[in-house]
């Protein structure tokens, strides 16, 4: 069970990428007080948790209703995660996030960034939704599903902590360290994505 927890935790941590969300959030709430920023961080994490929990518990039923085989979703999800990994290695993902954040900041009437863009699509984006669905689909029985959900909860708690400590954290790490971490996580995600595709192809051919 510990192996499953660690595998799910690492996969979700890489996809959700709390260290990558922190600097974007710091830029979005630069004009807010610490209390306001903390409240928005808590709200964003809660909304993202609800979205991901819905897809974790009912995603497979949704696929069934759409007549999509689980193996097809494994392969498609693996390819999607691989594209995200390439973006992370070449820093395009961070660039897109920053551009999205700048658009939100440029709109004066938008003050609360907890729902958009933080909860969706930065935390509960296509990659994390696909990942949680893949992980729960691979889980056998209620016990393994609860382990996966525990890993998700742990990652979301770390994400919340990273958002709350975003300002001081960025001063501590600096942009160079953040870039190195993002690239390393991208390489790891690429390997995990390839494994998803291999598993899906094996099931189809087997």
> pLDDT for 83-118, tens place per residue?
878 887 887 766 666 666 666 666 554 458 898 888
d(CA 189, CA 88): 9
Give how many domains the chain has, as a whole number. 1
Q: Which residue has the tokens 């990428």?
A: 17
The predicted structure's pLDDT at residue 106: 64
The predicted structure's pLDDT at residue 83: 83
**Residue 32 per-residue DSSP state:** S
Report the candidate in 177, 147, 178 with the shortest Cα–Cα distance to residue 18.
178
Average pLDDT over residues 6-29: 86
Q: 111: domain range?
A: 2-205
pTM: 0.76
Report the candidate in 122, 158, 163, 159 with the shortest Cα–Cα distance to residue 34.
163
All residues at 6 or more sequence positions from 153 whose CB lies less than 8 Å from its CB, including other chains: 49
Average pLDDT over residues 136-143: 90
């Amino acid at each position: 069970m510990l192996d499953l927890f660690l595998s799910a935790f690492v996969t979700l941590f890489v996809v959700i990428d709390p260290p990558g969300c922190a600097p974007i959030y710091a830029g979005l709430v630069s004009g807010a007080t610490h209390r306001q920023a903390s409240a928005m961080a808590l709200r964003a994490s809660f909304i993202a948790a609800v979205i991901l929990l819905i897809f974790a518990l009912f995603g497979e039923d949704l696929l069934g209703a759409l007549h999509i085989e689980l193996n097809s979703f494994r392969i498609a999800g693996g390819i999607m995660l691989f594209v995200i990994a390439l973006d992370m290695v070449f820093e395009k993902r961070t660039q897109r996030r920053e551009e999205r954040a700048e658009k939100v900041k440029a709109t004066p009437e938008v003050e609360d960034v907890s729902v958009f863009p933080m909860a969706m699509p930065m935390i509960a984006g296509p990659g994390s939704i696909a990942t949680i669905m893949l992980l729960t689909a691979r889980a056998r029985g209620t016990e393994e599903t609860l382990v996966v959900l525990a890993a998700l909860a742990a990652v979301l708690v770390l994400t919340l902590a990273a958002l709350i400590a975003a300002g001081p954290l960025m001063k501590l790490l600096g942009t160079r360290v953040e870039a190195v971490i993002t690239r390393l996580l991208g390489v790891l995600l690429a390997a995990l994505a390839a494994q998803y595709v291999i598993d899906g192809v094996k099931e189809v051919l087997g």
